[in-house]
Chain A
Amino acid sequence: MKYAMVIDTLKCVGCSDCVVACQTENNVPIGYCRDWVTESVNGSYPHVELELKSERCNHCDNAPCVRCCPTGASHVAEGGIVLVTAGECIGCGACIESCPYDARFQHPDGYVDKCTFCAQRLKEGQLPACVSVCPTKCMYFGDLDDPTSKVSHLLQSRKHKVLAPEAGTKPNVYYLI
């Protein structure tokens, strides 16, 4: 089992529903977020290219945040999901410093928080909150080990990229371009 998220930038409208949905699903306090949306504009009027992207923890195969964690609070769970066990986290911040995507933050309660791929929903057979709410249905979630899954299929058939591949983290959030 290897979970991955595939996001189609050709469909994302940057509405940030994924961000609010994550907040209400996962009790993310106001002022914090586990996912966020970026916009990049290239060219000059009227030859403008626009890319909108929903970003979050990439649940990296080669996760520096897990490696640098002194207590083992940051760990890799089933399916390659990178999680933090709040009761083991001392809040040293090393993992935050280690993430090239700035995907982690200190929860006001002290421990480090980040996207979990909605592990609690996966357990119940539901899709992550952000995926399930996205009005453009531009987010896909599934198992890359299963060659018949939608995510595998999309990565086989469409041009895609990951963020900051040069950081060597081997991300599992892919963007169709």
Chain B
Amino acid sequence: AIPSDMNSNGAKDKKIGSILSRSATYCEVCFWKCAAWVYSDEKGNIQKIIGNENDPHCYGRLCPRGTGGVGMYTDEDRLKTPLIRTKIDGKDSFREASWEEALDLVAKNMEKIKTEYGPESMALIKHGSPGSHLEHLFKAYGSDTVAEPAYAQCRGPRETGFGLTFGSWVGSPEPTDIRDTKCLVLIGSHIGENMHNSQVQEMSDAIDNGANIITVDPRCSTAASKSQHWLAIKPATDIALLLSWMHVLIYEDIYNKEYVEKYGSGFEALKKHVKPFSPEWAYGITTVKPKEIRKTARIMAAAAPSTIVHPGRHVTWYGDDSQRARAIAILNGLLGSWGNRGGFYFKEKISVPKFPHPPYPHPKWGWKELVEKYPFAEMGSTMEVIKASIPGADQKYPIKGWFVAGTNLVASVPKRKVIEEAIQSLDFMVVMDTMPMEITGYADVILPECTYLERYDGIRSATNREPSIALRSPAVPPKYNSKPAWWMAKEIGNRLDLAEYFNYNDYEEVIDWQLKEMGSSLEEMKKIGVKNFKRKSGALYMQKGKTHEFATPSGKIEFYSEELASHGLDPIPVYTSHDSPKQGFYRLNYGRSPMHTFSRTINNPNLSDLTSENMLWVNPKVARIEGLKNNQEVWLQNQDGVNSSFPIKVRVTERIRWDSVYMYHGFGHSNKKLTRAHGKGASDTELISRIAIDPLMGGTGMRGNFVKILLDNPIKETIL
């Protein structure tokens, strides 16, 4: 039957603004945190989510995942009520529990670990918005044993590399002035598939402005296809290319001399260092033709300082990643792009005042001690937390309990066996999530959080051209028996005698207080969603006639790093070779599906409708050798004999090299409760059992794994 209010084509005439009510939020589908308006009808059904026009993260346009965020709310597979591990017929299972019971159990176990081992032995592994509420709880409780996969499995190395060179993190959102650039150089960074919103938008502006785009990627990424120059580099050889680019810039005398003289430190050492690294030398390693190397170096130089050699974001590739990031930073230094229009702007943010609470106790050890062997680690490493949870002779800082929130560890951290061993050794593990993801299956208690569309969270304040803040307020009440993280943190705090740290009834009060301190109010923010502030730290770019002090030991851009030298590490990046695939094996390459975020959206009804499974990209040559056809199901086995749990369909394509295979990260879910995602495609993480640790900051290099393509299910075979 047709409802009477249907117009042509039967579409319900959704009148924008008038009938639908809107409320402010910022997106939690990834960590770009775009501010948005959530539109819901009179019945409280969320209809759509639209970007906030005044937000510098999205300029009024969400990415597909943000637009499809509706599905995070409507997904009927969501965690609905607290669950507690129990044995049914001798088999581990979960039973439904009340919030009282579940939270009592969490508090009891945290109390127990605190008395038996000290609060430090309870670790928080988190990602995203629930993290900050729990971090507050943990600090109050006495633990600073905190880590997130967004550091050692993501952008840690580049922060270290850029920090050592410019004295500043890159940070998020990256302060890349893409919209005004004349030349954008992408080292693997696959913007356009990596849908970090304003970057994608600005790259499109750059195309409109006729900017030169140079992409270095062994795969024909979407960005590569938009580039004037795609350098189809041999995987794992980027440092050689970067060094030879430096060589060309310096020995053709086309680097930004004025800038380097003014701001550079250790240039002569660099010059000497890169002397042997000619394009001809690099050609033998990278397979990129010397002519191409020279040409692209000249293009960069001609556009300088409006050239961005992008730092990348997920940069934990081969273990020498901080050094690669440093090479990128040095290249930017030679071009003079840091602090110049069309390069890197000076970012600014406004700090959100902390709601008053008693001082935190001082833990005896924490994340810092766990990463003490990495001199330049600046955040906790999930990998080290995992290792420290396995009892053994070298267990200096024993971890006995995990609180996991907003991270599906088994899909985001490699070496599944080690993770499982660590979890087996724990006294207690609680997982707070919105979905029955794999990690929840290991928990003793599962706490269902409501989605970002149903809750308040901390005020978003991020660095940008101009400081801005954004509000997240609930568009609808929490579905099922789910609750926001702030409420759980407070309830657990109350049970741990930490009530004085949670001196409010509703998080709304905290936000309102903070906003008023900042010259706004909850009432105002509900109306505008985003508030932009004037800059206070000075100009966006370096000013003529003024000098700029870098926060490095020398106050300058460190082409040569004394700090690194003092730790016995290479003061200037060097190229080291990494393993290549052996006969019959292919390098496992992975990246982003533009329609998904890691493992978290695969079950989202709207987004799984776009892409429901990942495929194994193989070159036609490989297809011929292995006898593969499009859409054929295959299994994978890695160099350590680890098999993929599920088959993956073949996509024969010229977009990938013959020595590698490629797949989107995040698929291959094994939890049957994810009705749409279960068994769809293969998991890249599962096949990563060999990692290369970055000696500078402990990053988890994941790109040195090789797979064999199997036509039959290997698991069935072993049974026979």
Contacts and interface: CB of A to CB of B under 8 A. Distances in A.
B15 interface: yes
A157 interface: no
Lowest 3 A-B CB distances belong to which pairs?
A: A50-B225, A46-B232, A13-B192
B622 to A, nearest CB: 11
Given A16-B594, A23-B606, A24-B70, A135 B1 contact: no
A13 B592 CA distance: 13
A28 to B, nearest CB: 8
B657 interface: yes
Interface string A40-55: 0101111011101000
Contacts of A52: 222, 225
Interface in A116-132: 116, 119-121, 124, 126, 132
A147 interface: no
Contacts of A33: 609
B126 interface: no
B8 A116 contact: yes
A41 B219 CA distance: 13
A154 B98 CA distance: 61
Most chain A CB atoms below 10 A, which of B9, B12, B595? B9
Interface string B16-31: 1000000000000000
B704 to A, nearest CB: 22
Given A30-B605, A45-B655, A135 B9 contact: no
B14 interface: yes
B197 interface: yes
Interface stretch (B156-164, B200-208, B252-260, B319-327): B200-208
20 contacts: A10-B226, A14-B222, A15-B200, A16-B595, A17-B62, A23-B609, A24-B48, A45-B619, A45-B657, A45-B658, A48-B225, A84-B8, A85-B9, A109-B10, A116-B8, A120-B11, A120-B14, A133-B62, A136-B192, A137-B61
Contacts of B205: 137
A116 B2 contact: no
Interface residues of B, number: 59
A86 B654 contact: no
B632 interface: no
A46 B220 contact: yes
A135 B595 contact: no
A111 interface: yes
Given A11-B208, A24-B606, A136-B201, 11 more contacts: A11-B207, A16-B610, A17-B64, A41-B654, A46-B232, A86-B6, A126-B16, A133-B61, A135-B195, A135-B200, A137-B61
A21 B70 CA distance: 11
Most chain A CB atoms below 10 A, which of B10, B61, B594, B595? B10
B64 A15 contact: yes
Contact of B225 (A31, A49, A114, A132): A49
Interface string A4-34: 0000001101111101110111111011010
A113 B12 CA distance: 12
A113 B9 contact: yes
A134 interface: yes
Given A20-B610, A30-B609, A124-B16, A45 B594 contact: no
Interface in B180-207: 192-193, 195, 197, 200-201, 203-205, 207
Contacts of A111: 2, 10
Contacts of A26: 9, 11, 14
A128 B61 CA distance: 13
Nearest to B196: A135
A83 interface: yes
A165 interface: no
A162 interface: no
B341 to A, nearest CB: 21
B34 to A, nearest CB: 10
Contacts of A135: 61-63, 195, 197, 200-201, 204
Contacts of A31: 609
Interface string B599-643: 000000111011100000001100000000000000000000000
Contact of B9 (A19, A46, A86, A133): A86
A86 B605 contact: no
Most chain A CB atoms below 10 A, which of B11, B207, B220? B11
Nearest to A115: B9
A13 B222 contact: yes
Contacts of A83: 8-9
Contacts of B611: 16
B47 interface: yes
Interface string B138-171: 0000000000000000000000000000000000
B204 A14 contact: no
Nearest to B619: A45
B67 interface: yes
Contacts of A126: 16
B79 interface: no
Nearest to B2: A86
B656 interface: yes
Contacts of B609: 23, 30-31, 33
B49 interface: yes
Interface in B566-584: none
B632 to A, nearest CB: 18
B61 A27 contact: no
B7 interface: yes
A137 B60 CA distance: 11
A86 B8 contact: yes
Contacts of B13: 120
A20 B68 contact: yes
A11 B16 CA distance: 28
A167 interface: no
Interface string B361-403: 0000000000000000000000000000000000000000000
B461 interface: no
Most chain B CB atoms below 10 A, which of A46, A49, A114? A46
Contacts of B48: 21, 24-25
A114 B9 contact: yes
B655 A19 contact: no
Contacts of A41: 220, 653-655
Nearest to B620: A44
B654 A48 contact: yes
A138 interface: yes
Contacts of B338: none
Contacts of A15: 63-64, 192, 195, 200, 594-595
Nearest to B218: A46
B230 interface: yes
A17 B67 contact: yes
Contact of B64 (A20, A25, A46): A20
Contacts of A133: 50-51, 61-62, 67
Contacts of A11: 204, 207-208, 226
Nearest to A87: B2
Interface string A80-91: 000111110000
Contacts of A43: 654
Nearest to B653: A41
Given A11-B226, A30-B605, A86 B10 contact: yes
Contacts of B14: 25-27, 120
Contact of A137 (B197, B204, B653, B656): B204
Contacts of A87: 2, 6
B516 to A, nearest CB: 34
A119 B67 contact: no
Contact of A45 (B207, B220, B605): B220
A94 interface: no
A121 B16 CA distance: 8
